[in-house]
Amino acid sequence: MNDLETAFSPDGPLAAAIPSFRPRAQQYDMAQRIAEALKENRVLVAEAGTGTGKTFAYLVPALLSGGKVILSTGTKTLQDQLFNRDLPTVRAALKVQISIALLKGRANYVCPYHLERNARDGRFLTAQDAADLRAITRFAQTTQTGDKAECTAVREDSAAWIAATSTRDNCLGQECPNVKECFVLAARRAAMDADVVVVNHHLFFADVMLRDEGMGELLPSCNAVIFDEAHQLPETASLFFGENVSTAQLLELARDTRSETLAGARDCRELIDATRALEKAARDLRLAFGAEPARLSAAQAAAVPEFDKSVAALGDELTRFGEILGTQAERSEGLANCLRRTGEIQERLARWRAPDSAELIRWIEVFSQSAALNATPLHVSGVFRRQLESHPRAWVFTSATLAVGQDFSHYCNELGLSWLEPPPMTAVWGSPFDYGEQALLYSPTGMPDPNHPDYIEAVARTAMPLIRAARGRTFVLCTSLRAMKRIHGLIADGLERAGDKLPLLLQGEGSRTELLERFRRLGNAVLVASQSFWEGVDVPGDALSLVVIDKLPFAPPDDPVLAARVDHLQKSGRNPFMHYQLPRAVINMKQGAGRLIRSERDRGVLCICDPRMIDKQYGKIVWRSLPPMRRTRVEADAVAFLEQLPPPAAT
């Protein structure tokens, strides 16, 4: 029996160390394939259904491989779970002498330089911000890591963190007077020395692949890269291979320059005035658009009356700002750094206004308080493939949702994996859950077309009897914020008319973590949410027994990035719907459906309201890609299934 076989055997080290461990054929088979990829420096693309135990399936061969491994996850939450729980558990079970390190983006670490400067400056919008900064100061004096996740006394979204952390732009690097106390550098040194380093996808692209923050040596030194939640990579890669200029960046530049001026050039009143003028130009750009958030192509933005004028005025103001700042920059490292940032923003703005490549999609995203000018590559396959070919090492891509049926071509094409030699190994392992017994897929009859003005009302009417039968315990997942708000209101009215006192939660009423904690604690709640709850959300047990999905999750056709890619595919002679839009919708739908059954004991109903899943030929591709649940079109079947479930703990 080899080490891998021993590890996963019924009386092996994992079973001995982990009471909940159960040998699963899919898990061991997956571990074997990953071990093979690690040994032969191959690329493996692997879909593992919910419950396969993919985390242990890649951790065991990674720890037994003897090489340096980078583990990249989808979120910081998963990062912390891997580093604090899963990795130490497997390392202890296998009794291997492996050093591990956690590396996050610099915004996650307290910056002693900026903390000290901003605490001394003492300018805060609210008393709570001032109290939070004092709490962070106390934390900084005792912490070993500086990781903000360990500072539980301050909310993660507190504005005080902006004053207590650095960005790539305002970091002084080796010139910083606090460089010996720098938590970011300490975390990076630990990562360089460790055998296994846990990062997240954003950090992988920002710090490692693009070498954008001086960590170019981490990737060359490793023998393998394993991506968990790998379905997120195409979107993340597009973000980091592009460029943007945002009003938030400009306001931060103005604020930092003002702070550095007060510290090192207080007599230069002209520079203080210039920071105010730059702030006004940035805010004027945001005000050129309406109050509502939006995504616009460059051509659509050009039709907005004040847009071109605001961009030109911003460019002029940046030039004046840079000229004044240049007269003071040598008075401190901080001011010199602000001048460098000004030049970089000027260059990005100039490229956005006069792009040098037809392969870039120029678009604008308008948020409630800011706006960003974005340049996104039309495709990332070429630049990503170059990274894979740059040095012999293993690359493993795994997620519960990568394939359309058994076909990985859409995913491999997006990341440039299809053209590798040798071609990537691929594999699909279905979930070990008994979906035929545990779950029911309900597709209601009589639904109007999703574009019909009464469609949202029909979704709410469909959901109501199911919610009541489930006694709450429901996720209603919507494909747009507008639909989410309307459906929430309709469900609230329906519950009130029926006299049901079920707790009704809405995305945005708190952070995602807070809402999930409330949902689990209540035990009989209904949560109406949008895209951020379609994936990475885990509610095993009786608290979730019903998932209602309003529509097939196609990206809005007027989205500027999608529209540009559709146009490119059409010009290339390919069918953009079948080659791009449908595969993406299938992967997203599998993510949403995956919220329902999270353990061997879970039972519930998945209701997909969209009639296109049945009525359209392409809908059958979606239908066949979903887990093998029992299927029905009869409401009474779904109600009966839910009514026979044990009552929720809260009632």
pLDDT of residue 189 exceeding 60, the answer is yes
Number of domains in the chain: 4
| Same-domain check for residues 136 and 45 | no
pLDDT tens string 500-521:
999 999 998 888 888 999 999 9
194: alpha, beta or left? (left if phi > 0; alpha if psi -120 to 50): beta
pLDDT of residue 121 exceeding 90, the answer is no
| Same-domain check for residues 475 and 598 | yes
| The pLDDT value given to residue 208 | 64
Residue 632 is assigned to a structural domain of this protein: yes
| Same-domain check for residues 505 and 594 | yes
Q: Tokens at residue 177, please?
A: 């007077």
| The pLDDT value given to residue 651 | 46
Single-letter amino acid code for the residue at 212: D
Mean pLDDT of the chain: 91
Distance, in Å, from the CA atom of 189 to the CA atom of 166, rounded to the nearest integer, reads 18
| Same-domain check for residues 161 and 20 | no
| The pLDDT value given to residue 209 | 63
Residue 648 is assigned to a structural domain of this protein: no
Domain range enclosing 82? 3-99+194-239+380-429
| Same-domain check for residues 31 and 78 | yes
pLDDT tens string 602-640:
999 999 999 999 999 999 999 999 999 999 999 999 999
pLDDT of residue 213 exceeding 50, the answer is no
Q: Look at the chain and count its residues.
A: 651
| The pLDDT value given to residue 547 | 97
Residue 649 is assigned to a structural domain of this protein: no
| Same-domain check for residues 394 and 476 | no
Residue pointed to by tokens 């379905």 = 231
pTM score, whole prediction:
0.89
| Same-domain check for residues 279 and 359 | yes
Contact assessment for residue 432 and residue 26, using Cβ atoms and an 8 Å cutoff:
yes
Peptide bond into 422 cis (omega under 30): yes
| Same-domain check for residues 354 and 388 | no
Which CATH number is 585's domain given? 3.40.50.300
Distance, in Å, from the CA atom of 29 to the CA atom of 41, rounded to the nearest integer, reads 18
Residue 247 is assigned to a structural domain of this protein: no
- The SS3 assignment for 222 reads coil
Residue 472 is assigned to a structural domain of this protein: yes
Residue 244 is assigned to a structural domain of this protein: no
Q: Tokens at residue 284, please?
A: 């004027």
Residue 501 is assigned to a structural domain of this protein: yes
Distance, in Å, from the CA atom of 266 to the CA atom of 443, rounded to the nearest integer, reads 68
Give percent above pLDDT 70 in the chain: 97
| The pLDDT value given to residue 214 | 45
| Same-domain check for residues 602 and 474 | yes
pLDDT of residue 212 exceeding 70, the answer is no
| Same-domain check for residues 496 and 606 | yes
| Same-domain check for residues 611 and 544 | yes
| Same-domain check for residues 604 and 503 | yes
The pLDDT-based confidence of 367 (bands split at 50, 70, 90) is very high
